Amino acid sequence: MKPQVEIYDTTLRDGSQGEGINFSVADKLRIAEKLDSFGVHYIEGGWPGSNPKDIEFFAEAKKRKFKSAKLAAFGSTRKKGVPVEQDDQVRLLIEAKTPVVTIYGKTSMLHVKEVLRCTPEENLAMIADTVKHLKDHGKFVIYDAEHAFDGYKLNADYALATWQAAEKAGADFVVLCDTNGGCLPSEIAAITKTAVGKLNCKIGIHTHDDSGVGTANALAALDAGAVHVQGTVNGYGERTGNCNLISVIPLVHFKMKKRCVPEKSMSKLKELSLFVDEVANIRHNPRLPWVGSAAFAHKGGTHVNAVQKLASSYEHINPELVGNARNILMSDLAGRSNIVMKAKSLGFKFTNETPELKSILETIKQREHEGYEYEAADGSLSLLIRGAFKNKAEPAFVINAYHVSMRRDLKESICEATVKVRVGKTVHHEVAEGDGPVNALDGALRSALVKSYPKLKGVSLTDYKVRILDGVAGTAAKTRVLITSTNGNREWSTVGVSENIIEASLEALVDSMEYALLKK
């Protein structure tokens, strides 16, 4: 079905201008293909001719077929005093051979006089000439009215004249841009409504998040009659970022009840968000609405109790609809329902009436008070729950002794760890060197255990975090160590706490190995 709201993605151009974002050509092609399969309507690839990377991207993009999205090249109106036929930048837009060309032009009289330093009439001609020239070459033309709202507030008649110049020249869309990100939703709505009433072409919206209302401003424009939203995945962009399409898309679909991307794509929303973060080498924001790991996380005991009975009591939508999942957090705020729901998610089967539940809850609260953190340590939590049952089996192994030391060779310092482990009646004694004490300890422990448990050869440590819990105590402060491990198929985290960082690390390492040996 024809969409009621079109989604225009500019992650590859506007998003790449964000601090810390640097896409290679291969990255851009991978993201473009992912966006196409997700179902966005336009993918802005970059500015042809502005840099070698974008030149190569458009050359490669020509060889690919996009199933649903139209590829757009981005540029500006012709230069002042230069006939459009002789403007090299406009020529490169045409040579990119994309079906869509998006150009921006000046709306604000302030920018016309102080930035372009041309007459108001010349700016109108620059807009009209460029749009008409692109239309004459068979392009679908989107005109981005830069500083549309600020320009309108400064001089409404001239701002409107610039939009009408683009429309009369044949622009398929006039997109109003809150370029500085400083407008309020009420202002966006009022000015968009005016544009919708004065222009015959379709109206779009492009917002930035400098004031924290980029997404709200986009929705305000849609309410006022806009039918096209420009933004980026995860809100990437210059300064504080652009309108976040990962929020806009489900808001349009679930809250505004309007068609945008295919309904089947909604369950892949989190996957898209994670994919782009991974390609950009950016850590995923757990607090992102809709797709963050905290978006449907519940910690307070009364909240969890209610969610256990009626999920919608504290969830505005079923998390699975956007590819997310409910997350029950464990802490000293936890109640019985937290334990039961978390235990079920970890594969345990018991209810609020399980006798061991009280002791599990008391242990968690006491250990949280001591500095342990189970929200991000499912592996250690699973072991704690299993340990509460009286019929627990003999531990898989026991650390009889360990020693960590450092020696200085001629060129470098080397850490060495010795571990003595008992498995049943067998004792394994191993020594290993490492880049640091934890690395050496990990190597020695693993070498000892694989003799009895060969499956541990496939386990590796992927992350190691240390936090000092009491800065006032100085070097005597407690240390919390969080370790993340994987066996290639699944990932888990374990925690250790001690005044001695080596002991805290060993505790987390032991939990990691013990968890890896569990059948479930």
Q: Per-residue pLDDT for the chain (520 aa), expressed as one digit of tens each?
A: 789 999 999 999 999 999 989 999 999 999 999 999 999 999 999 999 778 888 899 999 988 889 999 999 999 999 999 999 999 999 999 999 999 999 999 999 999 999 889 999 999 999 999 999 999 999 999 999 999 999 999 999 999 999 999 999 999 999 999 999 999 999 999 999 999 999 999 999 999 999 999 999 999 999 999 999 999 999 999 999 999 999 999 999 999 999 999 999 999 999 999 899 888 888 888 899 999 887 777 766 666 566 666 767 777 888 889 998 776 655 545 556 667 766 776 667 777 677 777 778 788 778 878 888 777 788 888 888 887 775 556 788 999 999 999 877 767 778 899 999 999 899 999 999 988 888 899 999 999 999 999 999 988 888 888 887 765 444 557 888 988 888 888 888 899 999 888 999 999 999 999 989 886 5
User: Would you state the pLDDT for residue 281?
Assistant: 84
User: Would you state the pLDDT for residue 334?
Assistant: 54
C-alpha–C-alpha distance, residues 76 and 90, integer Å: 8
Give the single-character DSSP code of 290: T
Q: How far apart are the first and last CA of the chain?
A: 45
How many Cβ atoms are within 10 Å of 259's Cβ, its own excluded? 15
User: Would you state the pLDDT for residue 490?
Assistant: 81
Is the domain spanning 398-516 CATH 3.40.50.1000? The answer is no
User: Would you state the pLDDT for residue 178?
Assistant: 97
Please indicate, yes or no, whether the overall pTM of this predicted structure exceeds 0.85. Answer: no
Place of tokens 């015959």: 200
Task: Tell me the three-class secondary structure of 397-437, residue by residue.
Answer: CEEEEEEEEEEECCCCEEEEEEEEEEECCEEEEEEEEECCH
- Regarding the domain delimited by 6-280, which CATH topology (the fold level of the hierarchy) does it fall under? TIM Barrel (3.20.20)
User: Would you state the pLDDT for residue 296?
Assistant: 74
- In the chain, which segments carry CATH 3.30.160.270? 398-516
Closest CA to 69 of 59, 79, 61: 61
**Phi then psi dihedrals of residue 430, to 5 deg:** -130, 150
C-alpha–C-alpha distance, residues 58 and 47, integer Å: 9
User: Would you state the pLDDT for residue 410?
Assistant: 65
C-alpha–C-alpha distance, residues 277 and 501, integer Å: 32
C-alpha–C-alpha distance, residues 57 and 97, integer Å: 12
CA 363 to chain centre: 35
- In the chain, which segments carry CATH 3.20.20.70? 6-280
User: Would you state the pLDDT for residue 236?
Assistant: 96
